[in-house]
Amino acid sequence: MKTREWFDVHADDYGVSLNGAEDILQCIKEGALDSFSVITNMSCFDKCVERYSQEKGKFVKKPLITVHLNIMDGKPLLKAEEVPDLVDEDGFFILTWGKLLFLNYSIGKKKKCVKEQLKKEFLAQIEMVEKSFGVREIRLDSHQHPHMIPFVFDVLMEICDEKNGKVTFVRVAKEPLLPFILCGSLYLTYNLANLVKNLLLNIYSVGAIKKLRKKGLPYELMWGLVMSGYMDEKRIKKLLLLMQRSTMKKKKKLEILFHPGLMLEKEKTEEYRKEGFYKFYCSENRLEEKKAVMSLKNLLKN
Q: What angle do CA 44, 49, 54 make, to 5 degrees?
A: 125
* Per-residue pLDDT reduced to its tens digit, 269-292: 999 999 999 999 999 999 999 999
**Residue 49 lies in domain:** 3-299
- State mean pLDDT over 128-139: 97
Domain of 130: which CATH number?
3.20.20.370
pLDDT for the residue 298:
77
pLDDT for the residue 89:
97
- State mean pLDDT over 32-36: 97
* Spacing of C-alpha 261 from chain mean position: 13
Distance CA 279, CA 281 (A): 5
% residues pLDDT > 90 (the chain): 95
Q: What angle do CA 256, 284, 35 make, to 5 degrees?
A: 25
pLDDT at 3 over 80: no
pLDDT at 2 over 50: no
pLDDT for the residue 301:
63
pLDDT at 184 over 80: yes
Residues 6+ positions from 51 with CB-CB distance below 8 Å: 18, 21, 22, 25
pLDDT at 187 over 50: yes
292 within 8 A of 232, measured Cβ to Cβ: yes
Which helix (DSSP H) or strand (DSSP E) does residue 170 occupy?
strand 167-170
Phi/psi of residue 109, nearest 5 degrees: -65, -35
Distance CA 80, CA 77 (A): 9
Question: Cβ–Cβ contacts within 10 Å for residue 33, how many?
Answer: 28
* Spacing of C-alpha 255 from chain mean position: 10
- State mean pLDDT over 248-252: 92
Question: What is the residue-averaged pLDDT of the chain?
Answer: 95
- Total domains in the fold of the chain: 1
% residues pLDDT > 70 (the chain): 98
* Per-residue pLDDT reduced to its tens digit, 17-27: 999 999 999 99
pLDDT at 297 over 90: no
Environment class of 128 (CB within 10 Å of its CB; exposed 0-12, middle 13-18, buried 19+): middle
Distance CA 222, CA 224 (A): 6
pLDDT at 1 over 50: no
Distance CA 147, CA 221 (A): 15
- State mean pLDDT over 136-164: 97
User: At 5, is the pLDDT very low, low, confident or very high (cuts 50, 70, 90)?
Assistant: confident
